[in-house]
Amino acid sequence: MRLSKKVGIIVGIGVIIALLVIVLMVYFQQVGEQQELNEQLDAAEVLSMKLEIDEEDLEDELAQAQSLLGASQAKFPQAIKSIEYGEDFFKIAYGQNLYSMAAGCGVELVYLNASKPSDKTVGTITFSVSSFRVIINGGVENMLEFIDAIGTGIDYKLSWSFQLPWSVDVKSINMDITNKTTSINLDIYGYRR
């Protein structure tokens, strides 16, 4: 069975149209993907520029922070050299630190603030002096016991006592009996080593 020329031409045209449709579909799919990739590339370029700006800002902030750190470290070498008695104060005042001592005396330490140490010369001896503000809560007898323990370095009711490696000068005491709160301002004198 032989096909006529017309049928051959019609089949040929059909194949060509089918191929043309496939090529056009692939072309339009590629155009769509290219547009999507261009949009993603544009978004990535915008993000890249933003990240570069952020990086520059962060580098500036880092440089400022490092400069501030250097300046701060230059200001506080005495604080670093003098921290030993501050650590002792925390350890001793709590029973191995202030909180333990406060608990041992039946009070709660609710606030502690210390100033930067400064030098004070008495005769030929130079002391490093730091001011502390301590706020405690508790019963009147217990608060007085805590004040005495700080001032003398001895708590007679505890099974342990200690001798301070520095001396304490209690500057002021403000007791609010109604609220069971006491504010203590004191100076600690430590030998400079």
The residues, ordered by sequence, that sit 6+ positions from 106 with a Cβ below 8 Å of its Cβ are 138, 139, 142, 145
Beta strand 107-114 pairing with 181-191:
unpaired
Q: How far apart are CA 193 and CA 166, in angstroms?
A: 12
Q: How far apart are CA 92 and CA 153, in angstroms?
A: 8
Strand partners, 149: none
**According to the model, what pLDDT value does residue 77 have?**
44
- Please give the Cα distance from 186 to 134 (Å, whole number): 8
Give the chain's radius of gyration (CA, Å).
40
Considering the chain, what is the average pLDDT of its residues?
77
Confidence of residue 65 (pLDDT cuts 50, 70, 90): confident
pLDDT confidence of 128, banded at 50, 70, 90? confident
Residue that is written with structure tokens 């603030």 in the block? 113
Q: Are 168 and 90 in contact (CB under 8 A)?
A: no
Quick: pLDDT tens for 11-28.
889 999 999 999 999 999
- Is residue 112 over pLDDT 70? yes
pTM over 0.85: no
Domain ranges in the chain? 1-75, 79-191
In CATH terms, the superfamily for domain 79-191 is: Ribosomal protein S6/Translation elongation factor EF1B (3.30.70.60)
